[in-house]
């Protein structure tokens, strides 16, 4: 599958409103800021006695997860329910897809049930863009991760976490450490960070886990952990995605941990007020030690909670954009 050179064309209405959320690429700073601001209005809803608003009442969300997921799927479902939407979780392993039904047939059947939103996770890069180009105009598509390409809602909840703890993005130095090569999250984070105007984005990894040409995205590359995180304000750790690896990219997990695992000793090289993030799932003793993951500078659990607010924001904005575009057409 492939995705368009200018994703902005398929993601936005003629007026620049969100109608699909497929990737960060092509989206302006103003729209990313609008997503963050909208999420801010939902951020404390979990503390209220009534945890629902009627913004998507009467709408139906279908979770189409062709890959395993825990946090992403759960937070999308919870976000949709807090917006008062009906939710259908399609178990692909037991669906007709496992019996040979094509992706397009599955989509058309969901459309026939008058679904309004598809949240899609797929192993193929470009799957969400392909689906967005094929569905009827009244259906909004949210990319929950496609291959190595993008995971935009994860990137935006990471941006929300950074803004909540650090305020303005200007002047920040951010290090992304680990398996950059196989990480769709890292690609989306880089796009979001540079669009929002951070001072510096650093990628820290062994040469075997750095994608060719990634420096063209305006990042600084480091192969030594201590140098890469020196004086940074934010450290984002990534797991080793062994399920996507082919060949011997690393000597051993223990050697990787010795060189690139985030320990308190290595964290001392970062700015004293630096926060530690991780999109999950974390592998203790592989990319991060428990003392750091559970320590006072870790905001990993806060990221999970912020994911609900971000996904509420994205879904409500996409449905609003779709509705406005349909009203103009009619």
Residue list, annotated binding site for L-aspartate: 99, 184, 239
Instruction: Point out the annotated binding site.
Output: 71-72, 99, 121, 151, 154, 184, 239, 280-281
Q: Which residue has the tokens 């192993």?
A: 123
Beta-bridge partner residues of 47: none
Instruction: Point out the annotated binding site for carbamoyl phosphate.
Output: 71-72, 121, 151, 154, 280-281
> Quick one: residue 192, left, alpha or beta (phi over 0 = left, psi -120 to 50 = alpha)?
alpha
Q: Which residue has the tokens 């863009």?
A: 129
Q: Nearest to residue 184, comparing CAs of 147, 141, 209?
A: 147
H helical segments located in 99-174 = 103-112, 127-134, 152-166
279 alpha-carbon distance from chain centroid: 8
CA distance 156 to 189: 8
301 Cβ contact list (under 8 Å, min separation 6): none
CA distance 181 to 245: 9
């Amino acid at each position: 599958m492939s995705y368009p050179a200018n994703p902005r064309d398929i993601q936005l209405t003629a007026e620049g409103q969100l109608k699909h959320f497929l990737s960060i690429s092509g989206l302006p700073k103003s729209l990313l800021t609008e997503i963050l601001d909208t999420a801010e209005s939902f951020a404390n809803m979990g503390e209220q006695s009534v945890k629902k608003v009627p913004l998507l009442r009467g709408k139906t969300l279908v979770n189409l997860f062709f890959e395993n997921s825990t946090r992403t799927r759960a937070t999308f479902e919870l976000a949709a329910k807090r917006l008062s939407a009906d939710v259908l979780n399609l178990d692909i392993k037991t669906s007709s897809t496992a019996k040979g039904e094509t992706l397009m047939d599955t989509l058309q059947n969901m459309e026939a049930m008058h679904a309004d939103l598809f949240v899609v996770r797929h192993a193929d890069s470009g799957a969400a863009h392909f689906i967005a180009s094929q569905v009827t105009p009244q259906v909004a598509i949210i990319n929950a991760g496609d291959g190595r390409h993008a995971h935009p809602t994860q990137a935006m909840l990471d941006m929300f976490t950074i803004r909540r703890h650090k305020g303005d993005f200007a002047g920040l130095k951010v290090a992304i450490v680990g398996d950059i090569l196989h990480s769709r999250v890292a690609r989306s984070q880089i796009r979001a960070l540079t669009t929002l105007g951070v001072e510096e984005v650093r990628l820290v990894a062994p040469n075997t886990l750095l994608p060719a040409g990634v420096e063209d995205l305006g990042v600084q590359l480091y192969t030594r952990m201590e140098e890469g995180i020196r004086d940074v304000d934010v450290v984002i750790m990534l797991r080793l995605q062994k399920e996507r690896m082919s060949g011997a990219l690393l000597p051993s997990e223990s050697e990787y941990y010795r060189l690139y695992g985030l320990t308190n000793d290595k964290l001392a090289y970062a700015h004293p007020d630096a926060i530690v993030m991780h999109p999950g799932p974390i592998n203790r003793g592989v990319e991060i030690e428990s003392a750091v993951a559970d320590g006072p500078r870790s905001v990993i659990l806060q990221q999970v909670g912020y994911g609900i607010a971000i996904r509420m924001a994205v879904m409500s904005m996409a449905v609003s954009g779709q509705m406005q575009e349909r009203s103009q057409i009619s």
